[in-house]
Amino acid sequence: MDNFSSLPGALKDLLNGHVVFLYLCSYESNRAKTVKFLSSFEEQGPVRLLEAAIIKVVRNLEKFQRLSRPIVFEKLDSICREKFSFLMEQSETKQLSHASEMEPEPPPTPAKVSVISPVKNTRRTSKFKSYSIAIKTRSALKECEDTLALKKLWGNDCSAGNIVMAMNKLRYKDGKGDPRGFVTFLDNQKMPRGILPRYRGNRLHILFHICGVFIQHYTVFIKFLEKGTSCGGLRASLFYDFRSTTGHVQMQVLGLLGKLLTGPWMKKFYRAAVNQIDHVEAISVVKEVVTRLKEQRSPLDLLTQSNDFFGDALKDSDATLQKLRDPPKDEDLFKVVMEACLGAIVEVLERQYKKYFEIDLTKKLKEETKSARTHNIDAEEIMGMFSASKKRSPNATLCFLSCKMRAQKNKTVGFLDDMDTEKRDAILKKAVKPGQVQRQRRRVKQNDLREELSKRQAMKEQAKEITARNKLERKLKNIQIKDLEEKFPELEKSKLEKIT
């Protein structure tokens, strides 16, 4: 490493050995400080790509363990003397961009208008995997973490993601967690029991909201984790990671994004059908959000920003927002993490809404999409109601659950309660007889269906038996009697004697 202690004057002469020396020796494995130093060069590109290149070089060199062997040492030395991989990627990118400028741009493809919601798309293409805002943000946080930093919580997610998942286990999961102890602690602290919603993973706003709650009541949760039930080492590991600088900075970044982006997103688009935003107008709103995200200059400005990314004023009286605006534990790490998260969000939005941004927003399109919803919360609500009803009444029939859910959604019960007693009784008495007839018809239909399925199953089994018998007959025609014992070893001796 002494050969790389003197750094070159320009970034173009930087080698992998210089980067490793900076990371391990000069800044004691502090990635944020290494990135900050390399960012001082005028030729450097995006911070997120620079940090990814540093991680790549360090991880490659960590594979070399037996340096006493000459072959291993020579290979390590050759890698250290190679040009910094970030510079090679930058030169390739410039060449590709220059070549792309010579080619004409393809015409925009027409896109069908559908639901506007940044939820995860399950379809995959050959070019890229589809990610949501929550997944891509957590991936960016994971890339910004120090590879040599100690984390005690189990999981391959970023520190904040592991903390949220572990706290969810501690709050809701029997056996691995301590739900009763958690609820007792919340009651003693006079905090609402539902302050931490159940974390289902990859939801748009849940992760960001929970991190904001953690920062708001940081000292309270530290107190609980310090003296709570061990839960097989879960509490101790959570206590260690919860107090770490990386975990605190990541939770603060996610909490701020929840107040500036995901929370206002839910408020803007997830509305009832009566006062929902126009579908075409929603496309323009998303385009303005992407523009504001790109124009964000300094991450530290977000701590004092008075408006969110939708242009609406923030409430200064919000207790969570006040805590999130406190100075971060590590400003350099905060800058790197926030820049990475903003870049990841812009990437997701531009990819998911690329076809929307290329559409010509005409009056005809606005009229055709007038009734289109900007979210899919109605379908998720029905599925949630069905799951809860089935869990509450496992032996209930689907017909009963369907009628119950329809009565709740179409407000039939409320409609009947508002009627006079005599009129309501008359309607119910008149509805009982048709209901019985309909139910009887369904029972007859179900019985007929069951009988038909039984007949088809019997015919299928019979066809299989005939096929097996024909196969056996063809096999016996080509076999001599003396070879039966060899060809059919499973045949009993008594049956074999009868045949012979």
In a domain, 125, yes or no: no
In a domain, 114, yes or no: no
Angle at 15 between CA 73 and CA 19, to 5 degrees: 85
| 283 lies in the same domain as 389 | no
| 233 lies in the same domain as 362 | yes
In a domain, 122, yes or no: no
| 164 lies in the same domain as 276 | yes
Spatial distance between the Cα atoms of 36 and 27, rounded to a whole number of angstroms = 11
Q: Measured in Å, how far apart are the chain's first and last C-alpha atoms? A: 87
Q: How many domains does the chain have?
A: 4
In a domain, 495, yes or no: no
| 285 lies in the same domain as 137 | yes
Residues spanned by the domain of 299? 133-368
Residue 210: per-residue pLDDT:
92
Spatial distance between the Cα atoms of 309 and 293, rounded to a whole number of angstroms = 7
In a domain, 243, yes or no: yes
Helix intervals (H) in 395-420: 398-409, 412-417
Give the orientation angle of helix 206-216 with respect to helix 133-144, to 10 degrees. 50
For residue range 106-116, list pLDDT tens digits in order.
333 333 333 34
103 CB burial (10 A radius; 0-12, 13-18, 19+):
exposed
Residue 466: per-residue pLDDT:
93
Residue 368: per-residue pLDDT:
78
Report mean pLDDT in 10-residue bins for the chain, 500 residues: 64 72 67 68 52 67 60 71 60 42 36 38 39 85 75 82 88 81 86 84 81 92 80 83 90 92 88 77 87 86 89 89 90 90 90 84 79 76 84 85 83 83 88 87 88 88 90 82 76 73
| 142 lies in the same domain as 158 | yes
Residue 1: per-residue pLDDT:
55
In a domain, 141, yes or no: yes
For residue range 170-216, list pLDDT tens digits in order.
888 877 788 888 888 888 888 998 888 887 766 778 889 999 999 99
Residue 369 contacts residue 279 (beta carbons within 8 Å): yes
| 308 lies in the same domain as 405 | no
432 CB burial (10 A radius; 0-12, 13-18, 19+):
exposed
Residue 117: per-residue pLDDT:
41
| 392 lies in the same domain as 471 | no
| 413 lies in the same domain as 430 | no
Spatial distance between the Cα atoms of 326 and 331, rounded to a whole number of angstroms = 11
In a domain, 115, yes or no: no
Of 75, 100, 125, the last residue of a domain is 100
DSSP 192-257: -TTSS----SS-TTHHHHHHHHHHHTHHHHHHHHHHS--TTTHHHHHHHHHHSHHHHHHHHHHHHH
| 356 lies in the same domain as 387 | no
* Other CB atoms within 10 Å distance of the CB of residue 328: 21
Residue 52: per-residue pLDDT:
66
| 387 lies in the same domain as 322 | no
Q: Kindly report the pTM of this predicted structure.
A: 0.55
In a domain, 305, yes or no: yes
| 67 lies in the same domain as 83 | yes
Residue 86: per-residue pLDDT:
55
Cα dihedral across residues 138, 144, 147, 152: positive or negative: negative
